Amino acid sequence: MVILEIELVVKEGQNSEVKKRFNENFTPAIRHQSGFYNALFLEQLEIRDNCMILLFFDTEKQRLDWVSSDEHDPAWESIVELLNSFTAKSYRIVEKVR
Domain extent at residue 23: 2-92
Give me the long-range contacts of 82-87 (CB less than 8 A, separation at least 24).
82/10, 82/11, 82/14, 82/17, 82/18, 82/21, 83/8, 83/9, 83/10, 83/11, 83/18, 84/9, 84/10, 84/11, 85/9, 86/6, 86/7, 86/8, 86/9, 87/6, 87/7
Mean pLDDT by 10 residues, the chain (98 residues): 97 94 96 96 88 97 96 97 97 92
Q: Is residue 31 part of a domain?
A: yes
- Tell me how many domains the chain contains: 1
pLDDT at 49: 81
The pTM score is 0.92
Q: Is residue 98 part of a domain?
A: no
